[in-house]
């Protein structure tokens, strides 16, 4: 295997596609959105990316070993073509984040992607009621458009910038003159958060122009709600254990 090993799974013609990234991160918000799109919409995997910058491991699914990877799926959403990037891993080292993101953008270029949306969560440190979506973008036009759609732009937020593939998709897309925006759902940061994912997805629908059913995301949100209630009932109100999160997430 080389530093990167990119498998071609399909070569569909896409019309003005939009790249939607949802890799693991705070509250698994981006990943929940990406997975929901893959569940609800018609599409097919087009590329699988293996890399020595991913953790050195296989994931096990019903006994089947799968080498750590990220996948890009072509998905049709009410006539809009999406290229949805998701997976179970982030890069393991700083240079790896740069190089991996660059490969994702190479693939996006092969499909003539015209705009990039990086999805994620921004931790608030407390359980929240109203799920605002914070934004960042590579150009002022984007900022205005996102603000009109209800995205919040707050001075000094997110503090510390945006780290990992989501952040670099903006930074490296701009170097390629490709418009990119990041939509970050507010989330406690302690739990897998389908409600935050829904808030992000609603913004994405509005801007890109499509609609999906929210039922399965709602179900997940209800399950999480029960977990939260159980946690609050417990004396001391301790955070959910990893097992709880893993089960629901």
Report residue 62: phi and psi, to 5°: 50, 45
* Residue 56 interacts with a copy of itself (CB under 8 A): yes or no: yes
| Residue pointed to by tokens 């089960």 | 247
| Of 243, 70, 80, residue with least CA distance to 169 | 70
Of 130, 140, 177, 235, which lies in the binding site for a copy of itself, with binding defined by CB under 8 A? 140
CB of 121 to a copy of itself, least distance (A): 15
CB of 95 to a copy of itself, least distance (A): 4
Is 61 or 215 the residue whose CB approaches a copy of itself more closely? 61
CA dist 57 and 239 (Å) reads: 28
CA dist 150 and 199 (Å) reads: 10
CA dist 117 and 166 (Å) reads: 9
Is 60 or 126 the residue whose CB approaches a copy of itself more closely? 60
Report residue 200: phi and psi, to 5°: -65, -45
* Residue 10 interacts with a copy of itself (CB under 8 A): yes or no: no
CA dist 106 and 12 (Å) reads: 16
| Of 121, 119, 50, residue with least CA distance to 91 | 50
Is 77 or 170 the residue whose CB approaches a copy of itself more closely? 170
Is 42 or 242 the residue whose CB approaches a copy of itself more closely? 242
* Residue 60 interacts with a copy of itself (CB under 8 A): yes or no: yes
Of 6, 50, 128, 216, which lies in the binding site for a copy of itself, with binding defined by CB under 8 A? 50
Q: Cβ contacts of residue 230 below 8 Å, gap of 6+?
A: none
Of 34, 70, 168, 217, which lies in the binding site for a copy of itself, with binding defined by CB under 8 A? 168
For the beta carbon of residue 10, count every other beta carbon within 10 angstroms. 12
For the beta carbon of residue 151, count every other beta carbon within 10 angstroms. 24
* Residue 54 interacts with a copy of itself (CB under 8 A): yes or no: yes
Ranges within 169-228 binding a copy of itself (CB under 8 A):
170-172, 174-175, 180, 182
H or E stretch at 105: helix 94-110
Of 42, 129, 155, 177, which lies in the binding site for a copy of itself, with binding defined by CB under 8 A? 155
Ranges within 70-129 binding a copy of itself (CB under 8 A):
91-95, 97-99, 101-102
Binding site for a copy of itself (CB under 8 A): 1, 3, 5, 50, 52-60, 62-68, 91-95, 97-99, 101-102, 135-140, 143, 153, 155-165, 167-168, 170-172, 174-175, 180, 182, 246
């Amino acid at each position: 295997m080389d530093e990167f090993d990119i498998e071609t799974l399909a070569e569909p013609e896409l019309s003005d596609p939009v790249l939607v990234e949802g890799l693991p991160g705070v509250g698994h918000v981006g990943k929940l959105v990406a997975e929901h799109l893959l569940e609800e919409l018609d599409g097919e995997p087009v590329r699988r990316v293996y890399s020595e910058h991913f953790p050195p491991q296989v994931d096990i699914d019903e006994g089947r070993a799968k080498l750590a990877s990220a996948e890009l799926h072509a998905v049709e959403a009410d006539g809009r073509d999406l290229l949805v990037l998701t997976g179970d891993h982030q890069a393991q080292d700083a240079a790896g984040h740069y190089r991996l993101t660059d490969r994702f953008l190479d693939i996006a270029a092969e499909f003539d992607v015209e705009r990039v949306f990086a999805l994620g969560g921004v931790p608030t440190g407390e359980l929240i009621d109203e799920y605002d979506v914070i934004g960042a973008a590579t150009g002022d036009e984007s900022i205005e458009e996102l603000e009109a759609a209800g995205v919040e732009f707050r001075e000094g937020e997110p503090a510390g910038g945006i780290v990992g593939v989501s952040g670099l998709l903006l930074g490296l897309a701009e170097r390629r003159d490709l418009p990119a925006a990041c939509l970050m759902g507010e989330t406690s940061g302690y739990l897998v958060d389908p409600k935050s994912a829904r808030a992000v997805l609603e913004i994405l629908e509005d801007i890109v122009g499509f609609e999906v059913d929210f039922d399965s995301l709602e179900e997940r949100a209800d399950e999480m709600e029960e977990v939260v209630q159980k946690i609050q009932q417990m004396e001391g109100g301790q955070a959910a254990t990893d097992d709880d999160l893993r089960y629901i997430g």
